[in-house]
Amino acid sequence: MNPLVSVIIPTYNRFGPLCELMECLARQTYSNIEVIIINDNGASVDLILSLYPELDIKILQMESNVKHVAARNEGLRMAAGDNILLCDDDDLLMPTHIECMLHEIEGHDLVYSDVEIVEFVNDGLVRLPVKRTLFAYEFSIEGMRKFSTFVPSGCLYRKEIHDRIGIFDEDVYHYWDWDFFLRVAADHQVKRVPIAGVLYAFASEGDNLSGSLSNMEPFLDKLSRKHNLGKLPTKNFLLLLEEPDVKKREASSRIVWDGKPIISRWVRDGDGAIQNG
């Protein structure tokens, strides 16, 4: 029997990228999935239901903007699958990704893949890739306590984990994913999959969530106290990648993306009347 995978996607006024992600889900070689979109009080995304009718899509419209961690927790409460897959609304999955992760989770509780960090430029309604960088690092608990190389988009895990560790911690807002990983890895079997099956949308300048170091520092301190990590540096993400302890963890990985942009039905069918927020 093919297990149900619940894909949890918080979104806020990114209709174009969200449609690209739906395109990726429609192309998956594994089809027993439910897609839970938590619209965090943004403009309606209901058009997606008619664009991708073959997907089992459930949309939760938030009455206020609760931000991304709380939105994921709302998605968890709706999830019917025994397996959870997380994804940001502007990240993309390669066609074999879910099938691959389900294969790899055998004997484990959480698996995560390598990613390609991609910088896009907008060409009308299409995001064109202009730079791609492999993000692949050997997994070790010691290394993860100094610098997290866990990208939550595309990770697959058993929903029952939450029965033991609780939901995502909204108090470590900027580092909820690092916190989640450390909590899981403390008592569960975790594995890195050396395949770059996820495209992580990154802006070296602009509105990336981790853009303001001063806003991030209090949350990093909370994370450190919670897990006894000691003093952690608050630095630009790209500078942290050049740290010697991070560089020595660099690993090889299998590249599966052909470098072509993902064109959604919203663009192909000429329905681009909705403007991105």
Question: One digit per residue, pLDDT tens: the chain, 277 residues?
Answer: 899 999 999 999 999 999 999 999 999 999 999 999 999 999 999 999 999 999 999 999 999 999 999 999 999 999 999 999 999 999 999 999 999 999 999 999 999 999 999 999 999 999 999 999 999 999 999 999 999 999 999 999 999 999 999 999 999 999 999 999 999 999 999 999 999 999 999 986 544 444 577 889 999 999 999 999 999 988 788 888 999 999 999 999 999 999 999 999 999 987 554 443 3
- Residue spans per domain, the chain: 5-267
- φ/ψ of 237, rounded to 5, equals -55, -45
pLDDT of residue 276: 39
pLDDT of residue 277: 35
pLDDT of residue 205: 57
What span, in angstroms and rounded, lies between the C-alpha atoms of 157 and 187? Answer: 14
Neighbour-count burial for 148-178, b at 16+ CB within 10 Å, e otherwise = bbbbbbbbbbbbebbeebeebbeebbbbbbb
Torsion, Cα 225 231 235 240, to 10 degrees, reads -100
pLDDT of residue 209: 46
List the beta bridge partners of residue 135: 115
What is the residue-wise DSSP string for 99-143? HHHHHHTTT-SEEEEEEEEEEEEEETTEEEEEEEEEE-B---HHH
pLDDT of residue 271: 58
pTM, two decimals, is: 0.94
Q: Does domain 5-267 have CATH number 3.10.180.10?
A: no
pLDDT of residue 210: 47
Four-residue CA torsion sign, 178, 183, 186, 192: negative
pLDDT of residue 215: 86
